[in-house]
Amino acid sequence: LSGDGVVINLPSINSVPDPAVSWYASGVEMAPEAQRHQITLEKNLVLLSTSIHSDNGKIYKAEALNGINGVSKTTKDFALRVGDTGEGVTKPPALLVGPKNTTAKTGDRDTKLECIYNARPLSGLQTKWYKKGIQRTEIVGNNKYIFNTVYKRVLTIKDPDLSDAGQYECEAVFVSNGQSSTMTSDAYLTVNGMWKH
């Protein structure tokens, strides 16, 4: 329905190593991340705040390329049909892709947590990340915690060590027409290895 988000799952592709995946909307290659879409860590496509005017009838497909042998595979076409619910109707946050419990080890370059919410209008949606312990501490971008874009859908933790283990929370904060609402989702990061001296 108009304003909803949708996840298009990448079909299973046998490839060693994992292929590089590109998604196309009606023949035009899509950026990895934009206000109204996200290509997930698992290479699925998430469309946000769909519009009956701009999205209805669009055709999506993915191309997977094996970087070793050069073999390329293209998925079938996915046609999007958007039902009308009124383009101006506000939609509160809905979790489309939640963070997953993740295991890393000391010595890894980084580890990533992902969290994708939908809402309408998207301009009223903000994503915040917290580390939960004795206190709930908001995570701000720095050399340790990296957000690739302003949307903060992916949290990259550089050089994970044992002190990074614990519960992480991603929160949607939505404000529209003077009304506000929040929604949260949690995941646990396990880090295996030795304490650094």
Whole-number pLDDT of residue 54: 78
Do 129 and 63 lie in one domain? The reply is no
Spell out the per-residue pLDDT of the chain, length 197, in tens. 778 999 999 998 888 788 899 999 999 999 999 999 999 999 999 999 988 777 878 999 999 998 888 889 999 999 998 887 666 788 999 999 999 999 999 999 999 999 999 999 999 999 999 999 889 999 999 999 999 899 999 999 999 999 999 999 999 999 988 889 999 999 999 999 876 55
Whole-number pLDDT of residue 48: 93
Whole-number pLDDT of residue 89: 83
Do 98 and 33 lie in one domain? The reply is no
Instruction: Mark which of 79, 107, 135 sits at the end of a domain.
Output: 79
Do 112 and 75 lie in one domain? The reply is no
Do 75 and 98 lie in one domain? The reply is no
Do 45 and 126 lie in one domain? The reply is no
Whole-number pLDDT of residue 197: 52
Ordered alpha helix ranges (H), the chain:
none
Whole-number pLDDT of residue 85: 63
Whole-number pLDDT of residue 117: 98
- Give the number of residues written for the chain: 197
Do 110 and 45 lie in one domain? The reply is no
Do 101 and 73 lie in one domain? The reply is no
Count the Cβ atoms, other than its own, within 10 Å of residue 76. 8
Q: Residue 48 is part of a domain; what is its CATH number?
A: 2.60.40.10
Tally of domains in the chain = 2
197 within some domain: no
Count the Cβ atoms, other than its own, within 10 Å of residue 122. 17
Do 107 and 159 lie in one domain? The reply is yes
Q: Which domain holds residue 33?
A: 6-79
- Is the separation of the CB atoms in 36 and 48 below 8 Å? yes
The one-character DSSP state at 27 is: T
Do 97 and 68 lie in one domain? The reply is no
162 within some domain: yes
Do 47 and 118 lie in one domain? The reply is no
The token duo for 57 is 């009838």
Q: How many CA atoms lie within 13 A of 36 on its CB side?
A: 11
